[in-house]
Amino acid sequence: MTVEALRERILRGDYPEGEPLRQDALADELGVSRIPVREALRQLEAEGLVTFSPHRGAVVSTLSLEEIEELFELRADIECELLRRAIPNTGAEHLTRANDLLDEFDAALADRESERWGPLNWRFHSALYAPARRNLTMGVLQKLHQHSDRYFRMHVVLARGGALANQQHREIVDAVRAQDVKAALRLLRAHILGAGQALVELLEKERGARRPGTG
């Protein structure tokens, strides 16, 4: 429960990039002892949401713009390979599952349930790639999605990217249904890299606005 509470606060932006995470204050806020807070911070460090500094202790991690670009390029390469392997094995049940998740995502967008956006996005993508039967690769990919979840939410909220993302998702599903591998991979790569580029541009403005003497 402590891990989930802290993860949600970070992903929601309650604790912004670079924010110190004081164990005593967090324990008081959550009504627990320092031990579960310390263990939760270590787990969040493994997920890439928290870093430990020798002088500042635990802080909310910050990705450079170059690292964000690298993250989305890695996702594009891995996900296109998974989709290429998955399409020949994709049946009606997989497509139904993917479309059901997109309907859930639309509902979560309409209701502004931001805590559901990232998990639903991951569940949709993993449903598409499940027929590839590449469990180790999926484990690596899930970590990359965890790293990008915070930025995905920012993209949805600040750049109004949610509706566009789901429209692109549906186009990808249509190409998979048609067994059009070339079109599906082209759409998926454009979807992931386009989201990454939009995030970088958004963060350039956000970070520039916060920098003293700018804006």
Please report, for the chain, the start and end positions of each structural domain, with discontinuous segments joined by +. Answer: 2-60, 65-209
Partnered with residue 58 across adjacent β-strands are 52
CATH number of 2-60: 1.10.10.10
Structure tokens at 137: 């690769």
* Residue-wise pLDDT tens digits, 107-160: 998 887 877 888 899 999 999 999 999 999 999 999 899 887 777 777 776 656
Partnered with residue 57 across adjacent β-strands are 53
- In SS3 terms, 83-105 reads as HHHHHHHCCHHHHHHHHHHHHHH
Which helix (H) or strand (E) element contains residue 60?
A: strand 57-60
65-209 is classed in which CATH architecture?
A: Up-down Bundle (1.20)
* Residue-wise pLDDT tens digits, 161-198: 678 888 999 999 999 999 999 999 999 999 999 988 98
CA 114 to mean position of chain CA atoms: 12
